[in-house]
């Protein structure tokens, strides 16, 4: 009996995998968004979460709805592109940026920074605050890109949940913040509206890491906890894109549990801060 039950479960999993493959193919052909090389385990979770939210019980049923209802596609796109993040997430990373990246930026008359996969913008505002406090914001332009236009709208608006401010303030202090964090926002209703001046030098733009090309040359590229959703082959291609987009001695910043190791470009970088995943392009 038990053997029979788990054979049925295995069969369901096989069907599930076929359905997921078909859905991704359909989404690509219908809307041009290519998720076929996303890491399967987390992708499957996210797609199932959408299926449950839509009240359907198979991935095929979700596919049916996706193909015929662009609004449903928009909802799935949100599920797949919102990376839950926090202002000054991993405060030690920001300390390292202050101590090791900012001194490099001071040597340039002008710097271009690309925050790739900026999602709702928490990291962009954090970075802007840091650059402002270090006195290099005036000479910098931040390009904040994401695959999803409506996520970018939220990033542009710069309103974050008020109930997060305690956590963010703690992070900010640990990240070496020099002022009172509350100077940067106004509390209204249940949102914290961040100062518009923080995004004066920020360009928000749609860009798809999977299919779009390099669009400038940068001194710093920040892409944290975005590529964890990609499979190995896609990660390698995005590493090529970043390598091609970085100026010599430019800095690549990855998430705390991501590494340049094992990527085809490992030898082209040296550690600027291995713990904080800051790498400098050297060849």
Partner 1 sequence: MYELICVGASWGGLDAVGRLLADLPIQVDQPVVVAQHRHSTSAPTGLADLLRLRVKRPVQDVEDKMPIERGHVYIAPPDYHLLVERGSFALSVDERVQYARPSIDVLFESASYAYGRGVIGIILTGANEDGAAGLAAVKRRGGVALVQDPHGAERRTMPDAAIAATAADAVLPLEEIGRFLYGLCLEREVS
**Which residue, 33 or 88, has its beta carbon nearer to partner 1?**
88
**Which residue, 76 or 140, has its beta carbon nearer to partner 1?**
76
Q: How far is the CB of 256 from partner 1 (least distance, A)?
A: 7
**Which residue, 64 or 258, has its beta carbon nearer to partner 1?**
258
Among 160, 185, 229, 242, contact with partner 1 (rule: CB under 8 A):
229
Part in contact with partner 1 (CB under 8 A); list of ranges 29-37, 79-87, 110-118, 188-196: 79-87
Site for partner 1 in 118-177 (CB under 8 A): 170
Q: Give the separation between CA 256 and CA 137, rounded to whole angstroms.
A: 25
Among 180, 259, 267, 282, contact with partner 1 (rule: CB under 8 A):
259
Among 31, 34, 36, 46, contact with partner 1 (rule: CB under 8 A):
46
Among 146, 225, 243, 251, contact with partner 1 (rule: CB under 8 A):
225
Q: Give the separation between CA 48 and CA 56, rounded to whole angstroms.
A: 9
| CA–CA–CA angle 193, 82, 197 (5° rounding) | 30
Q: Give the separation between CA 281 and CA 249, rounded to whole angstroms.
A: 5
Part in contact with partner 1 (CB under 8 A); list of ranges 52-60, 130-138, 187-195, 258-266: 258-266
Part in contact with partner 1 (CB under 8 A); list of ranges 63-71, 94-102, 210-218, 228-236: 228-236
Part in contact with partner 1 (CB under 8 A); list of ranges 63-71, 78-86, 189-197, 202-210: 78-86
Q: How far is the CB of 247 from partner 1 (least distance, A)?
A: 26
Decide: is 5 part of the binding site for partner 1 (CB under 8 A): yes
β-bridge partners, 230 = 38
Rg (CA), the chain: 21
Interface residues with partner 1 (CB under 8 A) are: 2-3, 5-7, 9-10, 13, 39-42, 44-46, 83-85, 170, 225, 227-229, 232, 235, 255-259, 262
């Amino acid at each position: 009996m038990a053997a029979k039950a788990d054979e049925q479960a295995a069969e369901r999993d096989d069907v599930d995998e076929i359905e997921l493959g078909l859905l991704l193919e359909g989404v690509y052909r219908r809307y041009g968004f290519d998720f076929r090389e996303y890491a399967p385990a987390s992708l499957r979770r996210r797609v199932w979460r959408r299926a449950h939210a839509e009240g359907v019980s198979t991935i095929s049923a979700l596919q049916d709805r996706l193909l015929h209802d662009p609004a449903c596609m928009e909802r799935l796109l949100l599920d797949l592109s919102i990376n839950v993040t926090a202002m000054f997430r991993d405060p030690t990373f920001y300390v390292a940026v202050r101590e090791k990246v900012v001194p490099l930026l001071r040597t340039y008359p002008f710097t271009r920074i690309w925050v790739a996969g900026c999602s709702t913008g928490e990291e962009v505002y954090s970075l802007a605050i840091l650059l402002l406090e270090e006195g290099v914001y005036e000479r910098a332009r931040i390009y904040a890109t994401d695959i999803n236009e409506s996520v970018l709208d939220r990033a542009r608006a710069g309103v974050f949940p008020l109930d997060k401010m305690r956590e963010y303030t703690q992070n900010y202090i640990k990240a070496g913040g020099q002022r009172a964090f509350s100077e940067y926002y106004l509390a209204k209703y249940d949102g914290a509206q961040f100062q518009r001046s923080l995004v004066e030098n920020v360009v928000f733009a749609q860009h798809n890491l999977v299919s779009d090309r390099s669009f400038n040359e940068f001194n710093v590229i920040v892409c944290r906890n975005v590529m964890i959703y990609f499979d190995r082959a896609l990660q390698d291609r995005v590493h090529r894109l970043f390598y091609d987009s970085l100026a010599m001695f430019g800095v690549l910043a990855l998430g705390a549990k991501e590494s340049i190791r094992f990527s085809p470009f490992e030898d082209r970088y040296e550690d600027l801060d291995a713990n904080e995943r800051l790498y400098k392009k050297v060849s």
